[in-house]
Structure 1
Amino acid sequence: MAGGRKTRKQAGHMSASDPSMLPEPFLQVGGRPHMNLAPAVAQAPKKAVASPALQKEFDGFIEKFRAALRTNDSAAVAGMTRLPFMNDSAIRDAAQFRAKTYPTSFTAKNRACIQRGKAVYDRNQENNDNYFVFCGELIFVFTKTPAGFLFTEVGAND
């Protein structure tokens, strides 16, 4: 070791010719280190897919919801909303929803977006069936309940 320099092995570099020096996730392929990514791919979460019956039920609901938005019918939208809205005691009935939530969440721009936006299905950690419509900075959430689908939440699209 002239001049105090370390060899590659002493410096902690692994050698492709010495498999014992390779970390466990690496394999030798053609004499070179190769990382095995198969387990990561095999464990990727599956995308949730709604059953045909669930999709049909949601399609019927969203058609009525969009019709109410087309005519700006806040009473009909409130009737398709789970109350108290987002578990907020200040929005516990249809009149409060119409006064406090509808004017700010259902602007003309958001109503148009919900009418043309694609609803995306997913199942959450509580095993609830949800559809989401993304409109700019907001997400509109529709959830399957014992009473059928209802508008359940509006949140930030982060």
Structure 2
Amino acid sequence: TFMSEAVAGPRAWEASPSEHRKWVEVFKACDEDNKGYLSREDFKVAIVMLFGYKPCKIEADSVMSSVNPTTSGLSLTEFLNIIRKKKEAQLYRNEIRHIFTAFDVHYCGFLTLEDFKRAFSQVAPKLPERTVLEVFRETDQDSDGHVSFRDFEYAMKHGQAE
């Protein structure tokens, strides 16, 4: 789809040395008794410290099910990998929000076909109008003539999988 080509997916992103050190410090602070790994509860505390929310049961189950069965928890390497992926996803969502806001020049919280035409005329002036219309229709999930952030985010992410 055109939307998938419009924005690249999450880029390989490297933490700065200070951010990496912070993640290691959080791991060590949450590793009660210096076991060398994080238990399920340790992991939850680490996520609260780094992202400001407590992971739901599904997220915790998903993370803990990926752990090497011979260990009792998440190693530092596994933890750092999970945190890097979460940070990439967070940055990507912020990037999508930024693009949506740039399209939403009237601050309505939704995009109209006119918003799409204006944005595409600036970034791709030679793009045929029918293509812009097609992109708008593809993005307008419920065909109500308005593209919400949710529709926009879905189109950007869905396009990545194709």
TM-score after normalising by structure 1 = 0.28
Higher share in helix: 2
Higher share in strand: 1
Greater RCO (Cα-Cα under 8 Å, separation 6 or more)? 2
TM-score after normalising by structure 2 = 0.28
Point out the structure with max Rg over C-alpha: 1
